[in-house]
Amino acid sequence: MPDFITALKQFVHRETDENLKQVRSMWAESVEKRVSEGEAIADLVPVEVQPNRARFQFQRNLSKFRPGDELLLNRGVPYSLPNIPCVLEEEDDSTITLSPGYQQTFWGLEGGNWVLDRNVVDVRQIQIGVLSELELQPDMLRLYTDYLDGKIQPNIDAAAYQSGLKRAREIGMNASQADGFAYALATRNYYLIQGPPGTGKTWVLAHLAAELAKRGERVFITGFTHRAINNALRKIATTTQYPNVVKIGQRLHADDLGSVKNFERFDQTGLNPQGRGFIVGGTCFAVRGKKLNMVKFDTVIFDEAGQVTLPLAFAGMLAAARSVFIGDHQQMPPVIVAKHEPDWVTKSIFERLYQNGCSTMLDTTYRMNQEINAFPSQMFYGGRLKTADANRHRRLKLTQRSNSLVGQLLDPDVPEVFAAIPHIGKGMRSAEEAILAAHLIREALAGGVKPSEIAVVTPYRAQVRLIRQELRKLLPNFRQISDIVVDTVERIQGQERELIVISLVTSDPAHASNRASFYFMPNRLNVAITRPSLKRIILGSPHLFKTDVNDPKHRQWVELFRAFYQSSNVVHVNLDDVYNLTPSS
């Protein structure tokens, strides 16, 4: 067991050190180089400055930054003053909004020519502290390692399980949902619920948390991201109307909580830490500090547990007597930047426990019709993911459709289509795909599809911005353009739309090969192709499938992409037909 803790401590140090190394190495490059690599935004001009919020205008943004990222505002030399740690709050086509980091302020900020670089906040001491605490509790450490090794299985109270099944039927759950719900209610130690796309994972979580709280438990909801935590809390509030639901965390991360109230610390909530029947959301870090460490929870529920590493999971598990892990190891895994030996340290808590065979898979998707579900069910879920009767034959409804290329691709009678566009040599941006994506959206809107039911998914932030630019050119006066989601795969996980357009972008095999561990990851493909309910349109170049890689694992991943392409309804698109749609200026 000492080797177990040592390996995890080394994992934490290597991950943090590699993050710091990559960022500091990039800082040493010129501003132009950092900008071209997507690691900086230059020539920022403040247009609105408050001590705790600042908005900047830019001429060009090719960065990979996304809301929530830790950044560093500087004059071009990150090592030199002034340099202000900050967090990206939001962005649009011409401005970016920041909030200052811990104990920082934008007071006195003036002038132009600011540069925004990536930053890293070193929080390893929290994770190392968790692992050191486990070292001092050998019985608890042995318990957790026995969980991971499959030596201790979920300990289920039979009477409580039967009671849970009865309650699940009253709620209206299907057989697999009821099974997972009942086992999670009845376990004395831990349980896993696998939730493939569209199977009601968060809905089950909401009822589970509320039922536990109604029975007098103190329930902690956590996850890898604030977005996942907030989504779970919001679902609990809207689905069950249970009253005692709060979030503990910074206000910066509380903008999508709906009716759920956010507090900086638990002692501001008015709840008694020794009281009963409340639900609290927060990060695994929150229970390690003064914000929340005065509460001893009965059950911790991890949402998106497939992204939670072992050190983070242990931080949450130590806060409660029982743990329920809800997630899907076939969707986005933990974010890993360094190379590690042994390999098991990189696995999520969900994947480690899942391999022991004691879990419930929710097996009915209420999102995808049968054509969209066919490939992911077969390739990622062993053919076990069924399509619910109600959505099996559902189709996109269009009140009008042209006879053009765009109209052909939107044909509701063909729910999944691959538009093969023979561009070549493209890396992280493809104007051809951006143009076609924008026209597909315009035609869908003209056919009556709601803006809120349309999304475009792509691997790269640079392509996200290019598509948004093309959309604004094509729909300059459309007030609801912000309702159309255009984002990366990571940001779209957990969401769904009637119509999803996926822009694969890359047509340079060398570029794809160099980024194979990112680009061809099967989990990312699974997330992207399972967001739509009625219509999926893939935009991509056949040249992508000429990619050759040396790593055997990556070679299998490329083959999976080829299999997806070969299984699709392929429409070969002439480049001139795309260019004739509109000029990209």
259 and 237 Cβ atoms separated by less than 8 Å: yes
- Per the prediction, the chain carries an average pLDDT of 94
pLDDT one-digit tens code per residue, 146-170? 999 999 999 999 999 999 999 999 9
Provide CATH code, domain 27-118.
2.40.30.270
Residues 124-362, CATH architecture? 3-Layer(aba) Sandwich (3.40)
How confident is residue 292, by pLDDT bands cut at 50, 70 and 90? very high
**CA atoms of 391 and 371, how far apart (whole Å):** 11
525 and 560 Cβ atoms separated by less than 8 Å: yes
384 and 199 Cβ atoms separated by less than 8 Å: no
pLDDT one-digit tens code per residue, 360-394? 999 999 999 999 999 999 999 999 999 999 999 99
Sign (positive/negative) of CA torsion 111, 52, 74, 39?
negative
pLDDT of residue 169: 97
Is it the case that residue 81 has pLDDT exceeding 60? yes
Mean pLDDT, to the nearest integer, of 168-193?
Answer: 98
**CA atoms of 195 and 77, how far apart (whole Å):** 46
pLDDT of residue 256: 87
368 and 533 Cβ atoms separated by less than 8 Å: yes
pLDDT one-digit tens code per residue, 498-531? 999 999 999 999 999 999 999 999 999 999 999 9
pLDDT of residue 182: 98
Question: Residue 397: which of 382, 408, 412 has the closest Cα?
Answer: 412
DSSP secondary structure string for all residues of 20-52: HHHHHHHHTS-HHHHHHTTSEEEEEEEEEEETT
Is it the case that residue 440 has pLDDT exceeding 80? yes
pLDDT of residue 561: 97
Are 27-118 and 124-362 in the same CATH fold?
no
- Sole residue written with tokens 């790269």: 460
pLDDT one-digit tens code per residue, 487-497? 999 878 888 99
Question: 416-420 and 532-540: which strand pairing?
Answer: parallel
CATH fold for domain 370-579? Rossmann fold (3.40.50)
pLDDT of residue 306: 96
Residue with more model confidence, 62 or 578: 578
> Among 26-30, 185-189, 455-459, 464-468, which is the least confidently predicted range?
464-468
**CA atoms of 549 and 186, how far apart (whole Å):** 47
Count the helices and strands in the chain (H runs, E runs). Answer: 20, 22
Is it the case that residue 585 has pLDDT exceeding 60? no
pTM metric for this prediction: 0.91
pLDDT of residue 282: 96
Question: Residue 290: which of 266, 270, 310 has the closest Cα?
Answer: 266
Integer Rg of the chain from CA: 24
> In angstroms, how far is the first alpha carbon of the chain from the final one?
61
- Sole residue written with tokens 């990039």: 26
pLDDT of residue 473: 93
pLDDT of residue 583: 58
Residue 86's identity, in one-letter code, is C
The domain segmentation of the chain, as residue ranges, is 27-118, 124-362, 370-579
229 and 305 Cβ atoms separated by less than 8 Å: no
